[in-house]
Chain A
């Protein structure tokens, strides 16, 4: 494998509502910042790949307008995934293995404020059997949490502690909207929304964009391993107290000797399960940025995890892990392990 490094990372400050930028505006700002950090120009980029969702943006072909934002002229080698930007990074990493291209630009954007994200995700379900029932992802996550609690693998107190930690870590992240710290007792006093989950157990949706510049060779955190896997969507055939896809992806990406991890946690009840599935030791620092419980921009939060894990390497960590997910009950998972450049 050719050594691929994260040479630049930028995110737009994630806001609860971003009324200032359209797709093109978001993408132009964030890609320019990432290229600047990498010390590269647009002409240096040999492959571009982006991630977004038409449903999140409320219209078909939303990525087409975004392409105008990066000024794709003269024409560029380019592709797009209808997925989180973390998977766009995976495609770019594959393309860099070919040998004819040495710099790739990855970007993604999402605006949760344009619609009801939970309602959109509920439409991802099997349209013949499950979607008509209106099973939203929080309800599915609550069923999963119930099973974890019933098997003695999780307590309501642990769910609350996850939220406490995320909000505490989020205080020092200038790129997410302010969020108040809370004690476990204060959280547990809140009403249940989907038993055993409370409103604050869900990731907080934001608007934003992110970009990463990948280079073959050069400096910056190096991708030590990357893999992604999917489980069945059919909740009835899965053991929801396990997460096989995350386990396989972590094994194949080399998730050992990890100092810190940035995990895409849609619901606080899923963090402990994810850590167990990926074999992360109790000493691993989880979500120093505050993670998705503080700011989840749809189609962006996964790439942001990779960017944040790269920042941790730049600030002294030896080996970090980034994780992205999609689908109900952590159905699809991507794991990217980063390490210091040798």
Chain B
């Protein structure tokens, strides 16, 4: 039966293009030790570890959970390795929550990470012959035509993407962990940045980051005065390649959102803040519609509803556009949502936030993971 689950510890690393100062275990320990400190627990108090990351080719180590068992304090315990493409950070948190909710373990440590500087993500993301013709120029090349389709479908003006790019970089200035810190960010600066994949410009794009994120989940408040209660989790996937698939507004995303709201017993309109997976600026308005948060995503952006202080702040942390250690990016969304309802988001805190959505997606807009967290068990 599905029991309660609380987020009682959260830890993040500083995100950067190259974390040359730490090894892979060192990077992970940075997040894990902060989460442990927040939860006021020792390694001996943790019953199980769930580890998530994107393709192992990003670091060149197959099944790194094996060599990381010591650094994660997992020796003698179960360790579980999740990989669901870009959504993996979110899925990892969901899988860890499942273990607590099912009553298998009392406390589970969930960790997601990527040290992209160890290799070239663009290479690892591009399938090589003979499997596929080498036409896909990484993720940007894949998603740009879908963005174009959204613009054509909704008649969205070109500046919408730039506005999201500016907002998230301004939010990042309030988040000491964020990778990109661009104090002079402006619409003109985004507009004048190089065009990479029409309509995606350099500053419409997420960076390539090293980083890790960890959360400690428990079956009760566990001594924590302000836990974030996991009100619901949901995961949905759909096939990638078939005629007629709506990649702009994927059904799996819509269903996943409806399931997570329904299981949490809330309406989308009750959310105070959302951290959603936006690797290219245009994905904010697209996901706003997919998640049922606004009927017209681009108008919500244009009217400032998603600004910090707006009707529904989106990505007050700066989002994926400001920090993107791919395998961790989903969990950072989930963790930031939890920080908001715990009132611990610092300078990017949404005042009085009680209900928050964490969202991640991956693959060809086909894998979705979400959770709703609240300041009360509900």
Contact = CB atoms under 8 A, between A and B. Distances in A.
Contacts of A124: 61-64, 66-67
B101 interface: yes
Given A75-B237, A128-B23, A234 B57 contact: no
Contact of A64 (B64, B77, B85, B251): B85
Interface stretch (A37-45, A89-97, A172-180): A89-97
A105 to B, nearest CB: 13
B104 A97 contact: yes
Contact of A55 (B56, B99, B127): B56
B34 interface: no
Contacts of A74: 238, 251, 255
A274 B76 CA distance: 16
Nearest to B103: A97
Interface stretch (A77-85, A189-197, A286-294, A316-324): A77-85
Given A60-B127, A230-B69, 11 more contacts: A60-B55, A60-B125, A61-B85, A64-B85, A74-B251, A80-B82, A81-B83, A91-B95, A98-B1, A127-B59, A230-B79
Given A97-B102, A326-B63, A67 B240 contact: yes
Interface of B: 1-2, 23-24, 54-57, 59-64, 66-67, 69-70, 74-85, 91, 94-95, 98-99, 101-104, 124-125, 127-128, 131, 234-242, 250-252, 255-256, 363-364, 366-367
- Provide the main secondary structure of the chain B interface: loop
B1 A97 contact: yes
Contacts, number: 174
B237 A76 contact: yes
Q: How large is the interface on A (under 10, 10 to 19, 20 to 34, 35 or more residues)?
A: 35 or more
A218 interface: no
A229 B76 contact: yes
6 pairs of A and B residues whose beta carbons are closest in the complex: A75-B252, A60-B55, A97-B102, A78-B237, A82-B83, A55-B62
Given A72-B239, A127-B67, A87 B57 contact: no
A78 B236 contact: yes
Contacts of A245: 76
A94 B104 contact: yes
B255 A75 contact: yes
Contact of B69 (A61, A98, A228, A231): A231
Nearest to A126: B67
14 contacts: A55-B63, A60-B125, A77-B234, A77-B235, A79-B235, A81-B80, A94-B98, A95-B98, A98-B102, A131-B61, A230-B76, A233-B69, A245-B76, A332-B66
